[in-house]
Amino acid sequence: MAGIVLEGVGKSYDGKTLAVQGINLTVADGEFVVLVGPSGCGKSTLLRMVAGLETISEGTVSIGDRVVNKVEPADRDIAMVFQNYALYPHMSVRQNLAYGLKNRKMDRAEIARRVDEAAKILEIGEYLDRKPRALSGGQRQRVAMGRAIVRDPAAFLFDEPLSNLDAKLRVTMRGEIRLLQKRLGTTSLYVTHDQVEAMTLADRLVVLNGGRVEQIGAPMDVYKRPASAFVAAFIGSPAMNLLPAVLSGGTVQFGGGRVAVGDGLPDGRITLGIRPEDLRPAAADEDGAFEMPVAYIEELGSQRLVHGSIEGEDVVCAVPAERPVGESLHLTADPALLHVFDAQSGARLN
């Protein structure tokens, strides 16, 4: 196994505009790092550069102690799992698992040992003689992962491997992937646009936006202290409320209420961030409370998401399932749980 190091990595398709720019990232040996961001942010391009499927326009990529910029994909000692499984339909599961090893002229006994071991780990032993068409989507993805495992690579690269599965199966499979990675201890770089998937899988998150890194950190660190309004809006479900407000003397004025956010922040227009679960119902006469007319309610069983608007801005508040909700709610928030962002750049201020 080995770590992955990216230094000043960039990618340009036309020689002028960088689709990915200035990426510096170190994935430690055995670490599970997730690249997350919206479509077009450069996460798959970055993964493909690590894999050798895209040329690198600037910077260096190292796997272990070796710079691999000009090393062919087959010689980089990595295994990649794609979203479309990429199984050979005319081959059995056993043959699919063994194919890459046979091409490397590996000993038959060693191939059989690796295939049987992978099948046991992934619990696909009973499917070894079936063709891919006789398997479910989840079983096919297990086979795709098995084909990566048998190679015993220095690193796993996952390119949105669960996006073709239904919602329930995605939850099951992401748990299996995390347990598998912990068991094998293989360095892993994983791409997804699903922030819930990213939060549940990662040792560390890399949030990308427009080809640049917005923030790198442990999932809960990114969730609790987003570095920008973009990260705040992208990480978390339901999304953070981001509201235009005015800051004066350490106090935010919004929706007829006032909330102290602390000293040392510049006066002026800001973007105030409040997570739905950090808003709490308040008495109408409570100091700092503001009123939100209720538009509709989402019943989630364990809680209710109350949707409304304040001064024309959409707001979501999470309340216990048993709490009655009328035509409006008076709300407040703990100042320690508020997020203050620059109204222009979106950078975190507090």
Does 275 lie in the same domain as 203? no
| Structural domain for 93, as ranges | 4-232
Does 279 lie in the same domain as 204? no
pLDDT score for 1 = 64
Say whether pLDDT at 262 is over 80.
no
Domain count, the chain: 2
348 part of a folded domain: no
Does 136 lie in the same domain as 266? no
pLDDT score for 112 = 92
Say whether pLDDT at 218 is over 80.
yes
162 part of a folded domain: yes
pLDDT tens, 276-287? 999 988 887 787
Among candidates 122, 137, 127, 121, which has minimal Cα distance to 169?
137
pLDDT tens, 22-72? 999 999 999 999 999 999 999 999 999 999 999 999 999 999 989 999 999
Does 250 lie in the same domain as 227? no
Does 25 lie in the same domain as 156? yes
Average confidence (pLDDT) over 218-242: 95
Does 246 lie in the same domain as 228? no
- Please say which residue of 212, 232, 252 terminates a domain: 232
350 part of a folded domain: no
Does 318 lie in the same domain as 292? yes
Q: Which two tokens stand for residue 87?
A: 């199984």
pLDDT tens, 142-190? 898 899 889 889 999 999 988 888 888 888 888 888 988 988 899 999 9
349 part of a folded domain: no
- Please say which residue of 174, 198, 232 terminates a domain: 232
pLDDT tens, 99-153? 989 988 899 999 999 999 989 888 899 999 999 999 988 888 889 889 988 988 9
pLDDT tens, 288-306? 788 889 999 999 988 999 9
Angle (CA) 23-27-31 rounded to 5° is: 150
Residue 296, domain CATH: 2.40.50.140
Does 268 lie in the same domain as 157? no
| Strand 303-310 to 290-299 pairing | antiparallel
Q: Which of 151-155, 265-269, 332-336 has the highest mean predicted lDDT (pLDDT)?
A: 151-155
Does 250 lie in the same domain as 189? no
101 part of a folded domain: yes
347 part of a folded domain: no
Say whether pLDDT at 216 is over 80.
yes
Please check whether residue 319 is in contact with residue 282, taking contact to mean a CB–CB distance below 8 angstroms.
no
Query: Rounded CA gap, 293 and 143, in Å?
Result: 52
Q: DSSP assignment of 183-231, as one string? A: HHT-EEEEEES-HHHHHHH-SEEEEEETTEEEEEE-HHHHHHS-SBHHH
φ, ψ at 261 (rounded to 5°): -115, 5
- Please say which residue of 232, 263, 289 terminates a domain: 232
Does 270 lie in the same domain as 221? no
Does 277 lie in the same domain as 188? no
State percent of the chain over pLDDT 90.
57
125 part of a folded domain: yes
167 part of a folded domain: yes
Residue 183, domain CATH: 3.40.50.300
* 93 — pLDDT class (breaks 50, 70, 90): very high
Does 253 lie in the same domain as 202? no
